[in-house]
Amino acid sequence: MTPQEWRDQHREQAPDRRERRTANLRADDGLSERDVKQRVRDGRLVRLRRGVLTDRTAETPVQRHLQLARAVALQRSEPVFSHVTAAVAWGLPVNSRNLDRVWLTRRRGHGHGRTVPDAVESQSSLRAEEIAVASGLVVTSVARTVVDLGRTSALEWGVAAADAALHRGLCTRDDLEAAVAAGRGRRGIARAARAVAFADPRAESPLESVSRLTISRTDLPQPVLQHPIVLAGRKVATSDFAWLDEKVVGECDGAVKYGALLADGQSAQDAVLAEKRREELIREAGWWVVRWDWKTAWDRQRLAQRLRSALGFQSLGPAARSA
């Protein structure tokens, strides 16, 4: 891809941009340096980096991260965003603690890259097929992004990214395995390979991915993912996890369940009642339900204790449980 093709593709797929260089504000809008400083003071402009401002305030950490990336793109020649930033651009899950800096991969030059307070720049070869455009940014491909994230993040986040990429059909397992092979010799590639090998497209959320990995580290029997629960010949639910022999269903409770993911016209109270009715139907079908949250999913001992209690209780049988 030539530099001009990069610029054309980037421009065509870019969202409505509000990030502006200070020099452009002066030249295009006729603002003086004093005008710019005054607008920053009164909140009409927000300084993203030295020399780049915007008139739109990002509302979420993800939006702020992408806004910062667009600011960096204005100051770099043909930047390729990678790692956490590419993952955010593709909509893959990342650790929110890593959103304060953008990541780039430099294809040319010497050295091992550099880090400044709001950007991490590494150097690595990138093949043409490893470069794409997402969220208006030139980024590494999905497979390369998952592997880079797997190399540099905790295994849980590598698994979550790989699960999400496969679940959403953004790439195939062959793509991920090829990216692992291409990354041989890079630091952390063994951890990325573990994440890819463990990935499962049936996982529907980062919480499920982390839970699945935590459960795999215990001595408990491994569950079946996305198992249909049938009552009177009708499917009434699909479980996050299921232990078929013990008739135990495991459910992850994410913080967004009664917020951003509500259906149109549905209130939080409606969602709570619907979830309560769903659990009642699961129990009527003869299953025991055990729930856990994000904090428990990261705590192997705590999650194992909760599951061991539920699995042991169910293995007693109905007569013993009612005694």
Would you say residue 298 has pLDDT above 80?
yes
Q: What is the average pLDDT value for the chain, to the nearest integer?
A: 82
pTM of structure: 0.81
pLDDT tens digits for range 44-91: 766 666 767 677 777 789 988 998 898 888 887 788 999 999 999 999
Q: Which residue, among 12, 19, 129, has the nearest Cα to 69 in the 3D structure? A: 19
Domain boundaries, the chain: 3-18+56-201, 207-322
What integer is the mean pLDDT of 161-165? Answer: 98
205-248 per-position pLDDT tens digit: 999 999 999 999 999 999 999 999 999 999 999 999 999 999 99
Q: Residue 268: which pLDDT band, with cuts at 50, 70 and 90?
A: low
Homologous superfamily in CATH for domain 207-322: VSR Endonuclease (3.40.960.10)
Report whether pLDDT(115) > 90.
no
Gap between the Cα atoms of 214 and 222, Å rounded? 11
Contacts 24+ apart (CB under 8 A), 268-271: none
Does residue 266 contact residue 272 with C-beta atoms inside 8 Å?
no
